[in-house]
Amino acid sequence: MNRLAIIGIVLIVLGAIGLIYGGIIYTSKTNVINIGDFKIEAYEKQHLPLSPIVSGAVASIGVALVIVGRGKRKSGKDS
């Protein structure tokens, strides 16, 4: 498989995740209390919103890369 096609597939997956979830969700750890050996940590889910337009554009670029990558592979076999 061509490198462009692999990058395109990754972009399609990332764009689809952005469209489905509306952004990126991650967990951050925060120290609430830190006194000597005594620690209290809190885990908080964070949401980084992504516009559906951006997610759709990323997926579209991925599709274009897959098409270009497959086209280059076919032309390389004919030569």
Domain boundaries, the chain: 3-78
pLDDT tens-digit map of 30-46: 888 888 888 899 999 99
Say what the pTM is: 0.63
Q: At residue 77, does pLDDT exceed 60?
A: no
Q: Cα–chain-centroid distance for residue 65?
A: 16
pLDDT at 48: 84
pLDDT at 79: 46
Q: Are 69 and 4 in contact (CB under 8 A)?
A: yes
Q: Are 5 and 66 in contact (CB under 8 A)?
A: yes
Contacts with 20 (C-beta within 8 Å, 6 or more apart), sequence order: none
Tokens (6 digits) for 19: 């469209």
Tokens (6 digits) for 75: 């032309």
Q: Cα–chain-centroid distance for residue 30?
A: 25
